[in-house]
Amino acid sequence: MSAQDKITELTATAKDALARAKAATDAADRDRHLAAAKAATEEIKRVKHDEAIKADAQRLADEIGDPAGGGAQDVRVGLPITRKGRSAALAKGIADRMTPDDGFGRKALVPSGTAVTGLPLDPTPVQLEQPGATILDALPTRLSTAQYAYLRQTSRENNAGVVAEGALKPTSTMGLESVEEHLRVVAHLSEPIYTYHLTDNANLRSFVEDELLDGLRLAIEEQVVSGDGTGEHFTGLLNVDGSQAQAFSVSAIETVRKAITKLEAIGLAAGLVIVSPTDWEAIELARESGTGSLELGSPVDRARRRLWGVQVVPSPAVTAGTGLVLDTSSVVVRHDGVIAVQWGTTGDDFETNHVRARVETRANLDVTRPMGVVVADLAA
């Protein structure tokens, strides 16, 4: 997608969110839509800023030439709530909204109310040589309206060829179908929390960051991998119709290589390998029969996490014995750019000095090219 197309899409998103905010009758809904509009507007500013920098860089390159002759590094942007620094900044914003000053220089928990904060879209892409720790760090993301549609390629037949003068030209098929989708609400409630434990707890900010944000990340990641598509569940990577399958072959290392070949054979490129932590440990420690030498020559650099030159993300969302090899241009995680945190009471919570937190966002997984997903059996 070009920068101009992205700006057009984001502008439509912002306008839609503003219209929904004006029509909202509930304060929480109005705040959510306003925050979504603001997030889209900030993203527009970022895209324009990036384009201006690229234009300046190109002008400079045209003036001085490119002595190295090198190409640009491949980069990937991940879902913002998964990066540690941005999680801390977001958690701080939520904590500040939830804990205003009580007039005596102390923070007091708001017992009932909503804190809505925009999801910070990091202008610095996650480079492949600096992989994130989660699946959501490594997958492309897109800001979206609640209802949307996209095109999915279910088949492809290339019949291009030499044509004699006056002869009929061959027809190639793209196999595109329109898919109507919507963002799914991902949310959870806390157990009843004693009010004074929160007001007296100096680590409230850490509590908000570690419990609320990480809980959302884990839930979204599990849906991205194994959502069964029923009800409001995502249709996860393991359950996508039209994906490819790779049977076990000799070892997990060889099996992954064959899965990469399945993508390359149809003109796609492997950009991500997802395995369980135990399978990644087994791959790192695999030894050649007879010599006892490590099969990879030496332990893989954990900071780079690569297998056959492809980034690897170990994830507890994947069952041991199963792996995913993806062409990352074939999938995208959509989200509304907003995390809403609401504190309130229910039942006898008010009488017993307890409060509960509700945290939610909206997201979904789009697989635009199912053949770009290979499910590999890593166990004999």
The span from the CA of 98 to the CA of 110, in Å, is: 5
Q: What is the pLDDT along the chain (380 residues), one digit of tens a residue?
A: 677 888 888 888 888 888 888 888 888 888 888 888 888 888 888 888 777 766 655 554 454 444 333 333 333 444 556 554 455 555 555 555 555 555 544 445 444 555 555 554 443 444 445 455 689 888 999 999 999 999 999 888 888 999 999 999 999 988 889 999 999 999 998 888 888 888 888 786 667 667 888 888 899 999 999 999 999 999 999 999 999 999 999 899 999 999 999 999 999 999 999 999 999 999 888 876 655 565 555 556 666 788 998 999 999 999 999 999 999 999 999 999 888 888 888 889 999 999 888 889 999 999 999 999 999 999 98
- Domains (ranges, CATH) in the chain? 137-151+174-377 (3.30.2400.10)
What are the residues whose beta carbons fall under 8 Å from the beta carbon of 198, sequence distance 6 or more?
109, 204, 207, 355
Q: What are 144's two structure tokens?
A: 């979206």
Tokens of 88: 């801390």
Greatest alpha-carbon pair distance for the chain in Å reads 88
